[in-house]
């Protein structure tokens, strides 16, 4: 099993550009989520999904969109990048449909917005 994979590993964007961060898992987990991690702050939940076709907002959803067309994939789209979105983004999945079980994280995407 590859677990949770994320692409790209690194990305530099200019203000106003859009892009999609990819996330995939091969563990057949229903629950998937996106977090961002900033220096001096804990991980903050952006969006999450409890299954294909179902998504919901987390603590910091503004400026991000998600979709969940399959169990395996959960892409995160930045609509119009801003410097405040410079961060490390982690995708996670969980076997628990409530999301309270062990969270399996991907390796992260380091995003810089100029």
Partner 1 sequence: RKEVEQDPGPFNVPEGATVAFNCTYSNSASQSFFWYRQDCRKEPKLLMSVYSSGNEDGRFTAQLNRASQYISLLIRDSKLSDSATYLCVVNMYSGGGADGLTFGKGTHLIIQP
Residue 41, interface with partner 1 (CB under 8 A)?
yes
Task: Please report whether residue 64 would count as binding partner 1 according to CB under 8 A.
Answer: no
Which of these segments, 11-19, 22-30, 73-81, 103-111, binds partner 1 (CB under 8 A)?
Answer: 103-111
The Cα diameter of the chain in Å comes to 38
**CB neighbours of residue 82 within 10 Å:** 14
Place of tokens 């903050």: 44
Rule CB under 8 A: say whether 60 interacts with partner 1.
Answer: no
CA atoms of 93 and 108, how far apart (whole Å): 13
For 85, phi then psi, to 5°, come to -95, 0
Span of 10-18, 34-42, 62-70, 77-85 interacting with partner 1 by CB under 8 A: 34-42
Candidates 24, 64, 103, 113; binder of partner 1 (CB under 8 A) is: 103
């Amino acid at each position: 099993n590859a677990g949770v994979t994320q692409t790209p590993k690194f990305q530099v964007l200019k203000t106003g550009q859009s892009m999609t961060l990819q996330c995939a898992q091969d563990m057949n987990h229903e629950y998937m989520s996106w977090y961002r991690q900033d220096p001096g702050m804990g991980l903050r939940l952006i969006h999450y999904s409890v299954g294909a076709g179902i998504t919901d907002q987390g603590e910091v959803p503004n400026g991000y969109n998600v979709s969940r067309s399959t169990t395996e994939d959960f892409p995160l789209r930045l609509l119009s990048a801003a410097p405040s979105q410079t961060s490390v983004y982690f995708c996670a999945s969980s076997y628990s449909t409530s999301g309270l079980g062990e969270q399996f994280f991907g390796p992260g995407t380091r995003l810089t917005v100029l």
